[in-house]
Structure 1
């Protein structure tokens, strides 16, 4: 059964693979805009915002292993397996632990974060 986050149209959601601790990559679709934040910040940290087509492009690049600095978002590896997600436009960044990033990537591979697919399912 395809994953369909119930909060997609209303608010933030995370990978279905995320642990009970709640620390994870959170995403929200707001029309043609995608927002990304870190749950550890409890809503007070930075929020990365980009156009939905740029988000879907980022996910495609992420899956192919070619996320470079020239895209809307860059992934910078951390020494212990975590990742920094940096917005090219303003340099805002989110830092994720290895576990958080792994759970997000599992959700990406399962198609949980693709804006175009989720919006089509919600219609």
Structure 2
């Protein structure tokens, strides 16, 4: 996949510390990640609701690499494994990740492809400190 834009992968999107793949476009639609302490946080940049109830999925850094590998494998995991969310793909190419508490984030095929391209490029390493 070629890059859609030249944006730095680690440039914060709307809030300090949140970043998206360099393969994401400049639009308001992407997987956003933030490392905070011992956790990786995931959210959807398309969210339009109240910030205090914004869905965020937490993945402990100790299982982050397993979550990223499951994401790259492009197979469904219908139940959340301990510490990381379940991943489901639809026939239309959408991907939903759901944690054990039922919090879900849904991404279009293009959003998920940009995220996976960033994962493959090493942009989401847990060694990356929060900005």
TMscore range, shorter length = 0.7 to 0.9
Between the two proteins, the alignment pairs up a number of residues equal to 114
2:65 is aligned with 1:56: yes
Q: CA RMSD in A?
A: 2.2
Give the helix-richer structure, 1 or 2: 1
Q: Which runs of 4+ in 1 moved over 6 A?
A: none
Structure 2 unmatched runs, 5+: 1-7
TM-score when normalising by structure 1: 0.79
Describe the shift of the 1:79–1:67 C-alpha distance in structure 2 as closer, same or farther (beyond 3 A).
Answer: closer
Secondary structure of the residue that 2:32 maps to in structure 1? strand
1:40 aligns with 2:46: yes
Partner residue in 2 for 1:75: 87
Unaligned 5+ segments in structure 1 are: none
TM-score by length of 2: 0.75
